[in-house]
Structure 1
Amino acid sequence: MLELEGMTVTVHTAAPPASRWLVLGLLGAGQFMLILDITVVNVALPHISADLRLDRTALTWVVTAYTLMFGGLMLLGGRLADLLSARRTLLAGLAVFTAASLVSGTAGSAATLIAGRALQGVGAALLSPAALSIVATTFSGTERHRALGVWAALGGSGAAIGVLLGGLLTAGPGWRWIFFVNLPVGAVVLVALAVLMRGWPAARRRERLDLPGAVLVTAATAAAIYGLTNAGDDGWTGAGTLVPLGAAVLLGAGFVALERRLRAPLVDPRLLAHRPMAAGALLMLVATALLVGGFFVGSFWLQHGRGYGALATGLAFVPVAVATVLGAHLASRAVGRTGGRAVAVTGLTVAAAGAATAAVWSGPAGLVTGIAIVAAGAGATFVAATTTALAHVAPDRAGVASGVVNTFHELGGAIGVAVVSSVAAASLSPGAGGDGFVDALVVAAVTAIAAAALALVAVPGGRPPAGAVAHVH
């Protein structure tokens, strides 16, 4: 048992059920769907735009509606997992996500598609923290490290593989199948987990659920993304940009004030103020913004700027998939020797170099090479972020702690797409020039360098404590 700035943190050891490894595989399959759906739509966006006649703003929301609800409600999902039992929260989230995939796949308008994507995000926000909580509290000792390693490999590859699968499905049966493919997988996993986890421990505590806090944090994020998206049309000093950004600040301040007053807050403000957690969350946000924003820019540049088809675009991103996993793998080996600070600074510097490479090296080869380098740096930064933030997790707070880190993962993706969409707005139409894409990559490079400088100061030095978790989501 440890005492961290007034918070008691207990490392949990429990006798795991005999079916734990099969359950881990099923949980991994569910988590893989969630992460894959962040990027699977990127390759299909030009086809969705042509079929449903979506403008740039609507296209941006097709991506961000999912990550907004996923990230904005992640803390609520983690809290529900702690209070109502992780099993119940997990199964409810999986059911919602699967049903929402059907809505998205059958959508005939922008409104229906965006609503379906938002509902997918709600399901994901329930499923993801509950699943990680189960993994973290079911296994112990060396088995816990092995289980989290399997989880990390699945989560780390999902976002990158999504662009390849999106290309295959869009070029084959059509873009709607990027959603329909979730239906059989979701149904099988739901039934199997319901049977295997029957009789697993239920909730141990009864406390009030902080719904107002969940509404405030989600509204603050939505306002921020709305303002960032509007910047592409209204300019960065226009009322359509500054008013929602100002509202986001006020709503965020209201959320912090509310959490300080509640006896059972959505997230303990002391957790957010704890230096390792704050630094890890910031690293996660920046790394995800760089990676998902890179996928967004690259997909449009190859298809609109270079005439690539969906399948060719998906295949072109194979090196990016490999680079993401490689960067995370190398970082997971290095972080125990050098600590999170060195890995974070190195990863972000590598990502900055990749964005700069893609900006100055014209042609598809330069673009893919640069984004692959960005992906390698982002993969390494994911490991540094989670190792820094989640060194120890108490069993009754495992859901909300993982929810904090994963919240910034999803919000990073939403913010990254919103920013690059606005910066590259002039280049997103078919036949437009590539100056907007170059500008977006320059912004990414500058952001990565600034984050690396901040990590040098904010991330605690030294090696992580024994038992720290290097989780890649």
Structure 2
Amino acid sequence: MTSARKGAALALLAATQLLLIMDTAIINVALPSVGDDLGSGSAGLSWVANAYLITFGGLLLLGGRTADLLGHRRLYLTGLGLLAAASAAGGIAGTAGELIAARAVQGVGAALAAAAAFALLLNLFPDGPDRHRALGAFAAMGGLGGVTGTVLGGVLTDLLGWRSTFWLNVLLALVLGLLALRVLDGGTRSAQSGFDLGGALTATGGLGLVAYALVGAGEAGWTSPRTLAAGGAGLLLLAAFAVVESRVARPLVPPAVLRRPALRDANILSALAQMALFPMFFLVSLYLQSVLGQSPLTGGLGLLPLSLAVVAVAPQTGRLIFRIGLGSTMTLGFGLLFVGMVWLALALAADGTFLSTVLAPSLVLGVALPLVMVTTNVAATAEAAPEETGLASGLINTSQQFGSVLGLAVLVGVATAAGGSSAAAQTAGFRSALLAGAAFAALATLLSVRLRLPVPAMASPRQDRTGGAVE
């Protein structure tokens, strides 16, 4: 593939990442309008958002491995097609139940497209500086997606109504699909035959039930029968999955893959990063609206400086990895994440302003985000063979998604328990939640120092000396 076509493929895949992350946020601003139109209460509205998260998180692993077996471009197009069809169904939904079902199918399509898109990127750019730059573009789009979704959700809902957010998805998915036929090759397929049906069923069921328990814990309570039953059943299915994988001839996730220290530890670090970062976006937007009295649109725009910092730093991350090494860049990123979270928590004030409380620490977090995202992705995928790229993609995407869901459930719970109805009480709750996120970042910083990394491809001798211990 020529360099120009590679560049076009990277732009396409990065745009896909932007769309899929945007979808996690774009509906949130529209939920009050959805409730007014469809006559749904707060419980039903919460599941309009949660249905997407559950199926997205539950199917990423299966989607990644299926992409290896059936072809990455084929599954990518299938995912986009499913996303477009479900979005159209959401755009014409007449009841809250129909809308929740459409959002669940959207999550299925997003999981297939996300896993296949990441695998296509890994195949296009072998491990080395080119992959680092490509992952930097992915990180930039991921960081921009949350803010873009919040802002677009507000603008479209105000101007055209909440249904327009779904029709935008239809248009974008169709455009990306048509472009994919022109710029993407067929993709690598595994030479293995057969499919691990038992592993697929237990992994998907287990991940889906755990996701259901996590996203519903804030509404039902962590010790409610629903949360405990769903979480316990999910863990039992995941235990059954581990047993199945050790006994079948061609497992969905070969145990030898999970025994790779860099892959395993990088997935843990990626989950910890999302446990701090994803709830931070939500909590800051909520602080700006509920404490400082800003509109949803203005609250979303308050995260724009952070996103611009991500876009500026992400393309430079590969260069930094080359200069100081993968391990040092990772530790620097997690250290900045810790500093930014603590600074933001301590800066919040009930009588503050955006400039005095959020702006400066959010810029630090904007620098940290691409550093931790790119380095953990590099470490988690460096040892993946071409026929394993979908699997590596499914694993790292699953880690990030479950880190996001778990972090949001825990930090919102902390904010709710520590806060109250007054501005001062709400601020205290947000501060406690952000400090809990800082604790996740501190743990990740310590673990990153101990991470044993594979030797980076095309690494200079200086990289091996400064990039941390290598295997």
> Considering the TM-score relative to the shorter chain, is it more than 0.5?
yes
Aligned to 1:267: 253
Q: Return the alpha-carbon distance in structure 1 between the equivalents of residues 24 and 347 of structure 2.
A: 22
SS of structure 1 residue aligned to 2:443: helix
How much has 1:461 moved relative to structure 2? 4.8
Aligned to 1:317: 303
Aligned residue runs from structure 1 range 428-439, under 5 A: 435=425, 438-439=428-429
Q: For residues 429-460 of structure 1, give each alpha carbon's deviation from its aligned partner in whole angstroms, at most 9, with x where no partner exists.
A: 9x776745643542342243245235424654
Q: Return the alpha-carbon distance in structure 1 between the equivalents of residues 188 and 200 of structure 2.
A: 23
Aligned to 1:257: 243
How much has 1:327 moved relative to structure 2? 5.7
Q: 345-354 vs 396-405, which deviates more?
A: 345-354
How much has 1:96 moved relative to structure 2? 0.6
Distance 1:418 1:93, change over 3 A: same
Q: Return the alpha-carbon distance in structure 2 between the equivalents of residues 69 and 394 of structure 1.
A: 27
Contact preservation (8 Å) 2:60, 2:112: yes
Q: For residues 271-305 of structure 1, give each alpha carbon's deviation from its aligned partner in whole angstroms, at most 9, with x where no partner exists.
A: 22322112211222222233222232333443444
Aligned to 1:402: 393
Q: Return the alpha-carbon distance in structure 2 between the equivalents of residues 244 and 432 of structure 1.
A: 34
Cα RMSD after superposing both structures: 3.4
How much has 1:72 moved relative to structure 2? 1.7
Q: 267-276 vs 74-83, which deviates more?
A: 267-276
Q: Return the alpha-carbon distance in structure 2 between the equivalents of residues 288 and 394 of structure 1.
A: 26
- What is the one-letter code of the residue matched to 2:199? G
Matched residue count: 453
How much has 1:54 moved relative to structure 2? 4.6
1:133 corresponds to 2:124: no
How much has 1:184 moved relative to structure 2? 1.8
Contact preservation (8 Å) 2:129, 2:318: no
> What's the TM-score, normalizing by structure 1?
0.82
Q: For residues 366-395 of structure 1, give each alpha carbon's deviation from its aligned partner in whole angstroms, at most 9, with x where no partner exists.
A: 663355544543433212321321223211
SS of structure 1 residue aligned to 2:87: helix
Q: Return the alpha-carbon distance in structure 1 between the equivalents of residues 259 and 404 of structure 2.
A: 23
Q: Return the alpha-carbon distance in structure 2 between the equivalents of residues 333 and 241 of structure 1.
A: 45
Aligned to 1:175: 162
* Identity across the alignment (%): 35
Q: 53-62 vs 157-166, which deviates more?
A: 53-62
Contact preservation (8 Å) 1:65, 1:117: yes
Q: Return the alpha-carbon distance in structure 1 between the equivalents of residues 9 and 447 of structure 2.
A: 40
Aligned to 1:411: 402
Aligned residue runs from structure 1 range 418-457, under 5 A: 418-424=409-415, 435=425, 438-439=428-429, 441-457=431-447
Distance 1:234 1:184, change over 3 A: closer
Contact preservation (8 Å) 1:100, 1:117: yes
How much has 1:258 moved relative to structure 2? 1.9
How much has 1:320 moved relative to structure 2? 2.7
How much has 1:427 moved relative to structure 2? 10
Q: 411-420 vs 73-82, which deviates more?
A: 411-420
Distance 1:457 1:313, change over 3 A: closer
How much has 1:95 moved relative to structure 2? 0.5
Aligned to 2:358: 368
Aligned to 1:380: 371
> What's the TM-score, normalizing by structure 2?
0.83
Contact preservation (8 Å) 1:276, 1:460: no
Aligned to 2:339: 350
Query: 5+ residue gaps in structure 2?
Result: 460-471
Aligned to 1:42: 28
Distance 1:467 1:38, change over 3 A: farther
Q: Return the alpha-carbon distance in structure 2 between the equivalents of residues 196 and 373 of structure 1.
A: 36
How much has 1:463 moved relative to structure 2? 7.1
Q: Return the alpha-carbon distance in structure 1 between the equivalents of residues 188 and 214 of structure 2.
A: 42
Distance 1:173 1:456, change over 3 A: same
Contact preservation (8 Å) 2:62, 2:204: no
Distance 1:459 1:59, change over 3 A: farther
How much has 1:73 moved relative to structure 2? 1.1
Contact preservation (8 Å) 2:335, 2:445: no
Q: 151-160 vs 381-390, which deviates more?
A: 151-160
Distance 1:303 1:152, change over 3 A: closer
Contact preservation (8 Å) 2:381, 2:389: no
1:90 corresponds to 2:80: no
How much has 1:355 moved relative to structure 2? 4.8
